[in-house]
Amino acid sequence: MRVNERHCSFYYEKEQINGKLEFNLETTALLIVDLQNYFVNRPDYDLNNPSEKDEAERWKYFYDRIDNVILPNNKKLLTEAREKDMLVSYATIVTQLSNGRDRSLSQKESGFNNLMIPKGSEEAKVHESIKPIEDELVIEKTTDSALTGSNLRLLYRNCGITDVIVTGVFTDQCVSGTVRSLADESFKVWLVEDACAAATEEIQNHELQVLNNIYCNVVNTEEVLDFVRSK
């Protein structure tokens, strides 16, 4: 079901826009995926070191987007969700065991996705600007999908949730895995394009196009806020 013209893939080019952003606040959850210090805090690069200077430049788009777009928009969504007494939930990647034995295979492989974020560490915490408060769900996972790696599916069903508004990082990894799992479990998913981020703009736009209209509807922060405020 298409709700706008944006991020439309080949499969949906000829489908008419026949839907709109609409959900019941009482049965909708906001899910913030992996906006933890480990992922969103810009590293303290040594710009006098050529390799670190190069890495800082490679990641400039991502961290600028986190600072200027993603965290501010998540804070707006969070504030409005709390104001309307919607269910707020967080998914975080942590290891329960100090040696990381409990991680999924993808997080044990070499390369970027090799993660070791101990439970209770500073790196594991949700960023201060959007940290959880009392009576909000925080689940811990060792997988990309927040549903596969936790009992979040059961918690949502117990709470009567039918729709999920998803934000976070990385759009092409844990966000995508979570969106797909939610869709497979017959939740209606609203992915907020300017409240989630991939490493590059190219990856971000490509993944939004892949997910949109099949596994979710891609919307933006202001569209969600306008709808929630109207209720």
Burial class (CB in 10 A: 0-12, 13-18, 19+), 213: buried
CB 182, CB 208: distance < 8 Å: no
Q: In angstroms, how far is the first alpha carbon of the chain from the final one?
A: 23
Cβ 203 vs Cβ 173: under 8 Å: no
- Tens digit of each residue's pLDDT, the chain (231 residues): 899 999 999 999 999 999 999 999 999 999 999 999 999 999 999 999 999 999 999 999 999 999 999 999 999 999 999 999 999 999 999 999 999 999 989 888 888 888 899 999 999 999 999 999 999 999 999 999 999 989 999 999 999 999 999 999 999 999 999 999 999 999 999 999 999 999 999 999 999 999 999 999 999 999 999 999 999
Q: For residue 149, what are the contacts with CB-CB under 8 A and spacing of at least 6?
A: 104, 141, 142, 143
Q: What is the pLDDT of residue 145?
A: 96
Is the whole model's pTM more than 0.75, yes or no? yes
Give the pLDDT score at 95: 95
pLDDT at residue number 106 = 86
Residue 170 Cα distances to 19, 25, 116, 117, 149, angstroms:
27, 26, 16, 16, 16
CB of 53 within 8 A of CB of 45?
yes
CATH class of 22-229: alpha beta
How far is 35 from 58, CA to CA, in rounded Å? 20
